[in-house]
Amino acid sequence: METAPFDLLVIGSGAAGMTVALGLLAQRPGARVGVLSKSDLSEGSTKYAQGGIAAVLDATDSIEAHIRDTLIAGGGLCYEPAVRAVVEGAPAAIRWLIANGVVFDSEHGDLHLTREGGHSHRRIVHSADATGLAVQTSLEARLRESGAVLFEDHNVVDLIRERLPQGRQGRCVGAYVFDRGDGRVHRFPARTVLLASGGASKVYLYSSNPDGSTGDGIAMAWRAGCRVGNLEFAQFHPTCLYHPRAKSFLVTEAVRGEGGRLLRPDGTRFMDEYDSRGELAPRDIVARAIDDVMKRLGCDCVYLDISHRPAEFITQHFPTVYAEALKYGFDMTREPLPVVPAAHYTCGGVITDLAGRTDVDNLYAVGEVACTGLHGANRMASNSLLECLVIGAAAARDIAGKLDEIPTLPALAPWDETWVTDSDEEVVVSHNWDELRRFMWDYVGIVRSTKRLERARHRVKLLHSEIEDYYGSFRVTSDLLELRNLVTVADLIIRSALARRESRGLHYTIDFPTLDTVAPPQNTILVPKTFAARRVA
């Protein structure tokens, strides 16, 4: 089956995808916009973002200070024009959210601003400790009444590029999409396509992300001919609740921003021994410090303690964390919380310009799936939702301005599954999924070595071969599609990590434990064999 053509097909329904969809519809009210979600519209990473959105709104703060903090956290690899564009766009982004119904905490008539690791000022706009949920809820309500066509429980299989003479491939003209309802793959033609599918943290055994963060957009863009960049920089959130039933529940960085202390099991602090900024050091430093303490002591976790603050302050500022911890028997107003690091954010991704344009014409990428150069070697707290909003608004403007110039769509070849059969060996997919995430955690985690990376590369090659054979023989399922994408992204992460012969930002290797101070800082760019002819700026 083929749907009616879309002016914009959005793959992903978080802050990035909804910002572009709503932005385009505001500028082109008659546009036909389709939004795809792998499960419910709300079940992406956005609603789990607790901390907030960084924006310079206080007279004692400045745009230059926010830029400087971001550049420092980025370890020499930030693209400064991207940093400046996003930081300068922050106040307007906050105003847009408020106009769309997002309610932020206020104090004495002004927005309440908190502080997080890496920031030199209080500049985090938040809605208690559930900012992402507030953003997701409000924008989703607007999206549902906007006229966009919404498709829940739909997995994209692959992007479609126009077939040109001599076997060449042209612009992006849509996608093949697996409908979990009828179990079939359908054609979705589109004049422009947006990847807003989030990151790839589920490639690791322990992650703070929802189950859908399987690197789908990165893998699809790579197969379609887009370059990817800086995928070795996987950010591990330092503090996820440690409990067998908690499934890595995130304990917001704002707890440390408001005075939370990291403790060894014996109750002693340790962060001052690793960085002069203590608990407010950037996430990569804090995560490595916790990893080092756990390995040196052989302990399963460390502890995060804010019980020295008044109970009313804690429950007012961190109601989500307080309630969730209480479910597992921990009262953070009286005792420290057990915490461990977990994979949290993919700093690299599909290379784009500052309007979200990729190497393939009419294909855009915004949010965690993309690499604009904002984050460099390490994302600073609360810059990620901000990037979704600012770059998303820019992408919407770019798409709105070019829709009238896009030629008529060609006929799309139907999805051919005449040669496949239904599999009775789903256990193979389950075992491969588990194996992949375990060796990525063991060999490509917070601390790496060349030997571990080579070992992981060998394992991923075997898995890739097995999965491709399985994919070519049996009818697709959601689990198989996600596993196929995870293996692709795992391979790209390992190749990127092996290419970097230094320790910088989030990439730390015991074989090259210091910065390369001889050569200027370099981004890690991987180029597919099917690299598109047009390159982004």
Indicate which residues carry an active-site annotation: 283
Place of tokens 């995430």: 437
Local structure of residue 279 (DSSP, 8 states): G
Q: Which amino acid is at 94?
A: I
Q: Which two tokens stand for residue 132?
A: 């992402």
Give strand pairing partners of 177.
156, 186
**Cross-strand bridge partners of residue 418:** none
Instruction: Please state, in angstroms and rounded to a whole number, the distance separating the CA atoms of residues 471 and 463.
Output: 12
Beta strands in 325-389 (DSSP E): 337-346, 349-351, 363-365, 370-371
- Indicate the pairing of strand 6-11 with strand 184-195: parallel
Pick left, alpha or beta for residue 289 (phi over 0 → left; psi -120 to 50 → alpha; otherwise beta).
alpha
Give the 3-state secondary structure percentages of the chain, helix then strand then coil, rounded to 5. Answer: 40, 20, 45
The closest alpha carbon to 447, from 241, 296, 242, 305, belongs to 296
Please report the sign of the dihedral spanned by the C-alpha atoms of residue 292, residue 297, residue 299, residue 303: negative
Cβ atoms of 346 and 215 within 8 Å: the answer is yes
Name every residue whose Cβ is closer than 8 Å to that of residue 30 and which is 6 or more positions away in sequence: none
Structure tokens at 457: 């590369």
